């Protein structure tokens, strides 16, 4: 990045040689002009990332206007939490004179690589990335073409700017709270595997059990795949156990909806029959009945912080990599089943 000598831009032929295919096959993959076998397309996309090749149909137009853009590669743009992050990013970028270009990664490596490639093709000034895993290929691609990257929402083992919330200790605090009101059979609905937030929240759940003297039962960890449908199936499995849990910690807000649906279908009431707490708050969580006890991430602040980091990196490329961890808030409502506060 800083101090790097100018180099010749890679060509489509370089990509073809790297992938072991014809130039026309590379063209079909990038321009979607003909179906290509999935394995071949994956090899082409990996070769694109490894060489740093950027297709150029819109580059000159963008360079001539000088209009700054920030690219955002993120999954599940319909998720209420991510929607708030996007709002914070867009508001802060717009105030700085930048437009925002969105690309949905679907939390899949190949789609993520393609999404980042599309953003680089548009000559964005910086990329904000919520990585599907370690994000290594996408980060390498951006580095090869000297575009700043800020990793958001999930920390990765890479020397790039990163901003996200602490996940482990807040999740442990949810377990602490449930244990403090008498629960010992506490289960967790975990998110999609391979994502750092899933691992960190699971670690926090286990830490909370340990420090409250509660044994860890693997049967009480149910994968919800970060989806409503996955969480619904996970809760049904937990309820079928010989000793079902009496309390649930749900790993994100989309899974909370699925968990509540499964409890409703089973004829169970929250919190009378099952205490429920969630990592991720909703803008409308206090309208639930009962109102949802949750960990609230400062989504707007995360988005604004990410843009600030990107803008400072654009202005000063030689800055050392920065990592900012933001503490979320514990929002105590009623779904945990706490006794109502006494009047006065």
Do the domain assignments include residue 28? yes
Do the domain assignments include residue 212? yes
> 8 pLDDT band (50/70/90 cuts)?
low
As for how many domains the chain has, the answer is 2
Tens-place pLDDT, residues 167-222: 999 999 999 999 999 999 999 999 999 889 999 999 999 999 999 999 999 999 99
Q: What percent of the chain lies above the pLDDT cut of 90?
A: 51
* Containing structural domain, residue 238: 168-297
* pLDDT score of 87: 87
Do the domain assignments include residue 50? no
Separation between Cα atoms, residue 243 and residue 175, nearest integer Å: 19
Tens-place pLDDT, residues 304-325: 999 999 999 988 888 899 999 9
Beta carbons of 258 and 224 less than 8 angstroms apart: yes
Average pLDDT of 101-107? 88
Asked if residue 5 has pLDDT above 60, the reply is: no
Do the domain assignments include residue 206? yes
Do the domain assignments include residue 339? no
Q: Among 56-60, 143-147, 236-240, 267-271, where is mean pLDDT lowest?
A: 56-60
Do the domain assignments include residue 306? no
The label of the residue with tokens 């990257």 reads 149
Do the domain assignments include residue 312? no
Do the domain assignments include residue 309? no
CATH number at residue 196: 3.40.50.2300
* pLDDT score of 65: 37
* pLDDT score of 54: 67
- Which of 33-47, 148-162, 282-296 has maximum average pLDDT? 148-162
């Amino acid at each position: 990045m800083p101090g790097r000598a100018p180099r010749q831009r890679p060509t489509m032929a370089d990509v073809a040689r790297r992938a072991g295919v014809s130039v026309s096959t590379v063209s079909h993959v990038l321009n979607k002009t003909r179906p290509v076998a999935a394995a071949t397309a994956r090899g082409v996309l990996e070769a694109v990332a490894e060489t740093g090749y950027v297709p150029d149909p819109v580059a000159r137009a963008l360079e001539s206007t000088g209009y700054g853009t920030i690219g955002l590669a993120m999954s599940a743009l319909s998720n209420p939490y991510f929607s708030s992050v996007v709002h914070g990013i867009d508001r802060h970028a717009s105030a700085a004179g930048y437009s925002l270009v969105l690309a949905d990664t679907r939390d899949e490596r190949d789609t993520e690589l393609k999404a980042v490639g599309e953003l680089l093709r548009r000559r964005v000034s910086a990329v904000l990335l919520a990585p599907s895993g370690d994000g290594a290929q996408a980060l390498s691609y951006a580095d090869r073409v000297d575009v700043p990257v800020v990793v958001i929402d999930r920390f990765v083992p890479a020397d790039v700017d990163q901003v996200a919330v602490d996940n482990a200790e807040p999740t442990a605090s949810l377990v602490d709270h449930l244990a403090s009101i008498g629960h010992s059979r506490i289960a967790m609905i975990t998110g999609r595997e391979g994502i750092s937030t899933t691992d960190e929240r699971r670690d926090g759940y286990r830490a909370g059990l340990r420090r409250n003297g509660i044994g860890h039962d693997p049967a009480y960890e149910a994968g919800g795949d970060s989806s409503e449908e996955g969480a619904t199936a996970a809760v049904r499995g937990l309820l079928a156990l010989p000793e079902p849990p009496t309390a649930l910690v749900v790993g994100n807000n989309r899974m909370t909806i699925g968990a509540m649906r499964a409890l409703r279908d089973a004829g169970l009431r929250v919190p009378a029959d099952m205490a429920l707490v969630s990592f991720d708050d909703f803008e409308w969580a206090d309208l639930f009945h009962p109102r949802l006890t949750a960990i609230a991430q400062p989504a707007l602040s995360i988005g604004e912080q990410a843009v600030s980091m990107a803008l400072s990196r654009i202005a000063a490329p030689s800055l050392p990599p920065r990592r900012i961890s933001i503490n979320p808030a514990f929002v105590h409502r009623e779904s945990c089943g706490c006794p109502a506060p006494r009047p006065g």
